[in-house]
Chains A and B, each alone.
Chain A
Amino acid sequence: MRNRSLWIGFLLALGLGLSIALTQQQPLDPYKEAERQRELFRQTAGILPGELYAAQGEELFAKKRGPKNTSLEACDFGLGPGKLEGALTQLPRYFADTRRVEDLETRIVSCMVRLQGFRPEEIKRDDVKALTAYVASKSSEMPINVVPKTSQEIAMYNIGRELWFHRAGDRDMNCAICHDSYAGRKVRLSPVRSPLQGLSNEWPAYRFEADKLYTLQDRIAFCYESIGIAAPEFYSEPYIALSIYMLAEATRGKNKFTELPGFTR
């Protein structure tokens, strides 16, 4: 554990150094640049930052923790207790035990509460992120398979679609302006995709420009902040609704997840 933390610290410092070196060159194609950065990590460190977060998550997953001193191995992500292979491909979904539609991050939190006995307010965001990276790594490059079926899932999808088109804030923005109307074009240098084109299929991912792991919730929060709307509180319904909407559309477009955790700008 100690060793791993040291490793992560070292790599993050390395990442920062690389990104500083980079900003001076003004790379113009963000995708090629991400690919180059990824190769550099492979060559110099032999391991990607996302893999380190996942390794950290794996330790947390198996370790007996919390007031009930249990691991998360009995956590059911929808395929049965402890079944992680492909678990992310079918999330968000409805869970009878919590009577809620949950995405991966929310499910991890509810398992930490129900199985390990944590109080929601004492759950560390960084732990949830590492666990998300670990569970997601078991769905790497698999086809996305989110098809709302229960009434709760369909309702959540409809809320997500409504939020998607909800114009608000002093930039009069919504998600659809960039990610539907102008999908395929660029905001500044960043190419923009629509959900049908697979938007959301690379998260959780390590963003080398931020030198941080971003989950899908982190990424949605970043989107809201950049259009002048305060980000929702983590694990709240807007994230779950937007996630099920985007991933159901990505499923209709027959998209796969990228390597998970992803590696992006």
Chain B
Amino acid sequence: MRKRYVLGLLAILLAGLTFSQQTPFQQRLQQAIKSGGSKFAETMRQDPDQALCSQYRNKLPAELVPAFLERQRKLIKYPADGKLLGDWKQGEALFTNPRKGNCYACHTGDPREPGAGNMGTGLVGYGARGTSEAVVKYTYDKIYNAWATMPCSLMYRAGYHGILTPEETAHVTAFLLDPASPVNAKR
């Protein structure tokens, strides 16, 4: 008797939970997304933190920030050999390639690139901050997962999404920090 009572209570609780997860508006939104076809709906599916950033329009409430950063930090992977500073020449190709880094869409880099956007921070002369372990790690982490330092940053998470492997991330890091890279050419 008592067992049944507990089970019933649990069922009600569960039902309540599923209801509270989707408001009628969210259900209507999902219906609209589905009407766009299965491929659209598939690529519009969000991970929980993409959903959070959308819900709060990229401005997370302060109390959610520490756990968010912690989750994102755990997603960062490093090259097997532990070297975070790779080959700047390979990094340049990855930085430029629209299907890989596509960094020129928003950032300057090599000052000779005419087609650089200006939505992101300009990166000409980025290497002026040196190549201390802290600078290298900060740069690597930022490229691999921009949300681990800045919640809901407008910059995408290249490593987390597999667009750049850990080794490739190290190459892009070198393109920004290596004194021989055109990013840091004396002008």
List residues of chain A with CB under 8 Å of any chain B CB: 26, 28, 155, 158-159, 162-163, 165-174, 176-178, 181-182, 185-189, 192, 224, 228-233, 236-238, 241
B154–A181 touching, CB < 8 Å: yes
B43–A167 touching, CB < 8 Å: no
* Residues 39-96 (chain B) with a chain A CB within 8 angstroms: 39-40, 42-46, 50, 53-54, 57-58
* Residues 86-139 (chain B) with a chain A CB within 8 angstroms: 104-106, 114-119
- A162-B29, A188-B104 are known contacts. Are A168 and B46 too (CB-CB below 8 A)? yes
A159–B42 touching, CB < 8 Å: no
**Residues in chain A near residue B31, CB distance under 8 A:** 237
**Residues in chain A near residue B116, CB distance under 8 A:** 188
A230–B43 touching, CB < 8 Å: yes
One of B35, B117, B147, B163 near A170 (C-beta < 8 A): B163
- A162-B29, A236-B35 are known contacts. Are A231 and B40 too (CB-CB below 8 A)? yes
A230–B40 touching, CB < 8 Å: yes
**Residues in chain B near residue A224, CB distance under 8 A:** 40
Closest residue of chain A to B51 (Cβ to Cβ) is A167
Chain A min CB distance to B41 (Å): 9
Closest residue of chain B to A183 (Cβ to Cβ) is B119
In the complex, B25 has a CB within 8 A of chain A: yes
> Once the chains are docked, how many angstroms separate the CA of A237 from the CA of B104?
33
One of B114, B115, B119 near A178 (C-beta < 8 A): B119
**Residues in chain A near residue B147, CB distance under 8 A:** 172
- A174-B54, A187-B105 are known contacts. Are A233 and B40 too (CB-CB below 8 A)? yes
A155–B28 touching, CB < 8 Å: yes
- A176-B57, A228-B43 are known contacts. Are A185 and B50 too (CB-CB below 8 A)? no
> Once the chains are docked, how many angstroms separate the CA of A237 from the CA of B31?
9
B40–A26 touching, CB < 8 Å: no
Sort chain B's interface into a size bin. Answer: 35 or more
- A176-B57, A187-B105 are known contacts. Are A241 and B46 too (CB-CB below 8 A)? no
In the complex, B16 has a CB within 8 A of chain A: no
Chain B min CB distance to A82 (Å): 29
One of A174, A185, A229, A230 near B119 (C-beta < 8 A): A185
Provide the main secondary structure of the chain A interface. loop
Chain A min CB distance to B81 (Å): 26
> Once the chains are docked, how many angstroms separate the CA of A26 from the CA of B115?
10
- A168-B46, A186-B119, A187-B105 are known contacts. Are A173 and B156 too (CB-CB below 8 A)? yes
A165–B118 touching, CB < 8 Å: no
| Total A-B residue contacts, Cβ distance less than 8 Å | 106
- A181-B154, A236-B36 are known contacts. Are A166 and B46 too (CB-CB below 8 A)? yes
B50–A165 touching, CB < 8 Å: no
Closest residue of chain A to B115 (Cβ to Cβ) is A188
One of B53, B104, B106, B162 near A167 (C-beta < 8 A): B53
A170–B46 touching, CB < 8 Å: no
One of B40, B57, B105 near A229 (C-beta < 8 A): B40
**Residues in chain B near residue A174, CB distance under 8 A:** 54
A185–B29 touching, CB < 8 Å: no
B115–A229 touching, CB < 8 Å: no
Closest residue of chain B to A174 (Cβ to Cβ) is B54
A172–B157 touching, CB < 8 Å: yes
Q: Which of B46, B104, B119, B155 has the most CB of A within 10 A?
A: B119
> Once the chains are docked, how many angstroms separate the CA of A26 from the CA of B112?
14
> Once the chains are docked, how many angstroms separate the CA of A81 from the CA of B104?
50
Closest residue of chain B to A238 (Cβ to Cβ) is B36
Closest residue of chain B to A166 (Cβ to Cβ) is B54
With A166-B46, A188-B105, A188-B115 given, can you name 17 additional A-B contacts, CB distance below 8 Å? A155-B28, A162-B29, A162-B54, A163-B32, A167-B46, A167-B53, A168-B45, A169-B44, A178-B119, A185-B117, A187-B117, A188-B104, A189-B114, A189-B117, A228-B43, A233-B36, A237-B31
A-B contact pairs, 15 of them (CB 8 A): A167-B46, A167-B50, A167-B152, A168-B46, A170-B156, A172-B157, A182-B154, A185-B117, A189-B114, A192-B119, A224-B40, A230-B39, A233-B37, A238-B32, A238-B36
**Residues in chain A near residue B118, CB distance under 8 A:** 185-186
A177–B33 touching, CB < 8 Å: no
**Residues in chain B near residue A187, CB distance under 8 A:** 105-106, 117, 119
